[in-house]
A and B are shown apart, each in its own frame.
Chain A
Amino acid sequence: MSFSPLIDQLIDAFRCLPGVGPKSAQRMALHILERDRQGGDKLANTLLRAVNEVKNCRECRILCETGVCNICASRSRENSQLCIVESPADVLVIEQTGLYRGRYFVLMGHLSPIDGIGPAEIGVDLLLERVDQGEIKEIIMATNATVEGEATSHYIAEHVKHLGIEITRIAHGVPLGGELEYVDGSTLAHAFAGRHAF
């Protein structure tokens, strides 16, 4: 048995969300129609507004609806440091530590040739434009500690090093509270290579 066309359409539309299969989509659709029409109305309006209005920040490419995001617009942050991350979620965790007061640049991904993601897709041109403005004294590479993250950092570093800016990479190694016995070999090798004076 199938529902009427509009309900089927709604169920199908919910399936665009990650992790939502036919059963969950049906549950969501029926919940809204049976029990929470007001919530559905709010969801529809907000979704429509967000899809239309949220764009990438002109300066750092993070998602926002104001043209320039809060961090880029803030005057109290330092202009001399630029932290390069892969996703908006990374900005959020770094902000939660409260330690970093510089600016960000969000690549919205990493270099991944097999997936067809090259330098153009991660906004390297925009980044170079921004670095060329001359205020930045240090670039902090905070891409993931994966092969792709490493390749991305290296690619960017190669393209900005001629400007004479200090380029740093966040440290990789033993996590706090971690016991050496349970740390995998490659991480440990990194930790040894990156040891510093006591």
Chain B
Amino acid sequence: MSTPVNLQPAYVLHTRNYRESSLIVELFTCDYGRVPAVARGARRPKARMRGVLQPFRRLLVSFSGRQAMKTLLDAEDQFSTGRLQGTGLYSGLYLNELLMRLLKAEDHHSTLFNAYEHVLAEIKSGKNIEPLLRDFEQYLLRDLGYGMPFPEQLCSHEPTNSNPGQFDETVYYYSPDGHFFLLDNKPEAEQLPRCFQGKHLQAIARSDYADREVLRAAKRLMRLALHPLLGDRPLQSRTLFKH
């Protein structure tokens, strides 16, 4: 990428100080995925980009460079309404940490970009955050090529009035390599943390989180699915949610 990229929609995932007055900015762009770039002089008192390079704001960025680390030429704020507050802010930081940890630099992810934009807008509008996060996690896993292989019999059977509780009693074991197995017997104690009720999985596959139990199961399932990708270093933003 030697020709400059102009006015690319982007969000800032993270910034860190670089030398006396510059910043290294991790951008999540629409067409180029995650792009690290140096914003020269961005910390000077009168720098134009100073207030602009903040997370959760839709920017139009221009950058150039042949190396992995680009040079940020310009960043404009596309003034977006609303801002993240309170728990929404923690959730935003959680999303950014997930993307920072899981996206490789310059991997194309434009549908994920749209999903990220959508989830930020929904959080800003004050919707219930948890279902939004679970949906985004599912989306992210799919986009990275680790989609949930939900058992076919669950997905092909819509619950109907004639058999509302068809999968009430079935229990599935989610193996460490990411597959579901139908358990014939009662699960053993050490299997329990990786066991899920069929009806819950069915609801998760449909993104139907009306039931608190489903939401709790979805959280557990996503943690199990993300764990191998994140490695041993836990996500720090999770500590913010603890009280």
Contacts and interface: CB of A to CB of B under 8 A. Distances in A.
A184 B52 contact: yes
B240 A116 contact: no
Interface string B7-21: 000000110100110
A111 B51 contact: no
A147 B235 contact: no
Interface stretch (B31-39, B88-96, B144-152, B192-200): B88-96
Interface string B226-243: 000000000111011001
By DSSP majority rule, is chain A's interface helix, strand, loop, or mixed? helix
B54 interface: yes
B10 to A, nearest CB: 15
A185 B96 contact: no
A113 B89 contact: no
A113 B235 contact: yes
Contact of B77 (A111, A147, A184): A184
Interface in A90-127: 111, 113-119
B19 A113 contact: no
A180 to B, nearest CB: 14
Contacts of B129: none
B19 A18 contact: yes
Nearest to B50: A184
Contacts of B55: 147
B86 interface: yes
B115 to A, nearest CB: 20
A150 interface: yes
A82 to B, nearest CB: 22
Report the interface size class on chain A: 20 to 34
A50 to B, nearest CB: 22
Contacts of B56: 147
A52 interface: no
Contacts of B81: 189
A113 B81 CA distance: 25
Interface string B63-94: 00000000000000101010111100110111
B54 A146 contact: yes
A64 B100 CA distance: 36
Given A147-B89, A154-B89, A184-B77, A113 B240 contact: yes
A19 B55 CA distance: 26
Contact of A114 (B52, B86, B96): B96
Contacts, number: 67
A118 B77 contact: no
A189 B100 CA distance: 29
Interface size on B, as a range, is 20 to 34
Contacts of A147: 54-56, 84, 89, 92-93
A28 interface: no
B134 interface: no
B89 A150 contact: yes
Contacts of A19: 19-20
Nearest to B237: A113
Given A18-B20, A147-B55, A113 B236 contact: yes
Contact of B97 (A113, A185, A189): A113
Contacts of B92: 147
Contacts of A185: 77, 79
A183 B19 CA distance: 27
A4 interface: no
A113 B233 CA distance: 12
Contacts of B77: 184-186
Q: Nearest 4 pairs between A and B by C-beta?
A: A113-B236, A113-B237, A185-B79, A118-B239
Interface of A: 18-19, 111, 113-119, 146-147, 150-151, 154-155, 158-159, 184-187, 189
14 contacts: A19-B20, A113-B240, A117-B236, A118-B236, A119-B240, A147-B55, A147-B89, A150-B85, A154-B89, A155-B240, A184-B52, A186-B83, A189-B81, A189-B83
Given A114-B236, A186-B57, A189-B81, 13 more contacts: A19-B20, A113-B97, A114-B14, A114-B100, A115-B16, A146-B54, A147-B89, A147-B92, A154-B90, A158-B243, A184-B51, A186-B79, A189-B83
